[in-house]
Amino acid sequence: MIDWLKDASISAVSRLMGLSWNAIDGIMQRSVERGLARREEIYPTHIGVDETAFKKRHDYVTVVSDQETGTVLHVGSDRKKATLKAWYDSLTEEKREAIESVSMDMWPAFINAALESLPEAEEKIAFDKFHVAKYLGEAVDKVRREEHKALMAEGYEDLKGSKYGWLYNPENMACKQKSRFKALRDSTLKTARAWAIKELAMSLWHYVSKTWAKKGWEQWLSWAVRSRLNPIKEVAKTIKEHLWGILNAIILKVSNGPAESLNSRIKMIKVRSRGFRNKERFANAIYFHLGGLNLYPEGVVR
């Protein structure tokens, strides 16, 4: 049953075995209980904190993962500070001190939970490149939409059909697309300027010295603030407020990529199960598939 549940939904295994849905769900729940009870003492050094949607309308759970093993350590019932802080507080002082980095997005609840729970957290919290790129990509798209609307009103179609060119790597484009995008990129369009500002930010992650990294980002912020592009200026304000965590990510050489990968796998679990009735079952499924647990009954070895 456990082996089958790793590859199929509870409903599918229920039909195949001729057992009720609740019976199969009970097997999964007990296997997770066994696995969590058997979990050996772990001292993760690099962890990721991310949110994943349980249902629509901004209903989330928080997933804490070990970035070195790629396993889920904890599933919180929401994305509030108190919930994440309670997990930090459940760790021994030795385990909290062993944590060297916490990769996360810029959600205030995640930041404050770490600041209040971990020693020297201001040196460990890392806002990774993925989220900075996401914010800047959205800003470039806002500039494009505003400029495209203004150009169309004047009868110009310079930006028509160019949306994905600004969002994706030019190296992945066909020759014809590259030629058109190069012409747009080298133009005097506001969107071209916004894209150049974004690309410069993406090149500032190679530093090994925090001092030089800070100088590079301060120069970028100066250009972004003077750009006269409101979406870019708004992101620049956010980056300036969180620059300390961006510098940590650069120097510690960590990112939230592993957590984002887990998030994609969690979405697949949710799709395969066609959703979950409640967050307890959702968390149980995450632990079952991604917790790295020994799920089998006593005496059974795989």
Identity of the residue numbered 51: E
Query: Residue 198: which pLDDT band, with cuts at 50, 70 and 90?
Result: very high
69 and 184 in a common domain: no
pLDDT above 90 as % of the chain: 75
Residue 276, pLDDT above cutoff 80:
yes
What pLDDT was estimated at residue 42? 84
The count of structural domains within the chain is 2
What is the rounded average pLDDT of the residues 37-47? 89
Per the structure, the complete domain to which residue 27 belongs is given by: 2-127+255-290
Q: Which two tokens stand for residue 95?
A: 């385990």
236 and 157 in a common domain: yes
Residue 212 lies inside a defined structural domain of this protein = yes
8 A C-beta contact, residue 60 and residue 78: yes
What pLDDT was estimated at residue 162? 87
Residue-wise pLDDT tens digits, 281-299:
999 999 999 999 999 998 8
Q: Which residues contact 25 (CB under 8 A, 6 or more apart)?
A: 10, 281
278 and 192 in a common domain: no
> Which CATH number fits the domain that encloses residue 33?
3.30.420
Which parts of the chain fold into alpha helices (H)?
2-5, 10-17, 21-38, 81-90, 93-98, 108-117, 129-153, 163-167, 175-185, 190-202, 210-225, 230-241, 243-252, 257-272, 279-290
192 and 93 in a common domain: no
Residue-wise pLDDT tens digits, 113-138:
999 999 999 999 999 888 899 999 99
Residue-wise pLDDT tens digits, 201-234:
999 999 999 999 999 999 999 999 999 999 999 9
283 and 174 in a common domain: no
Residue 260, pLDDT above cutoff 90:
no
Residue 261, pLDDT above cutoff 90:
no
115 and 133 in a common domain: no
8 A C-beta contact, residue 3 and residue 13: no
Distance CA 283, CA 285 (A): 5
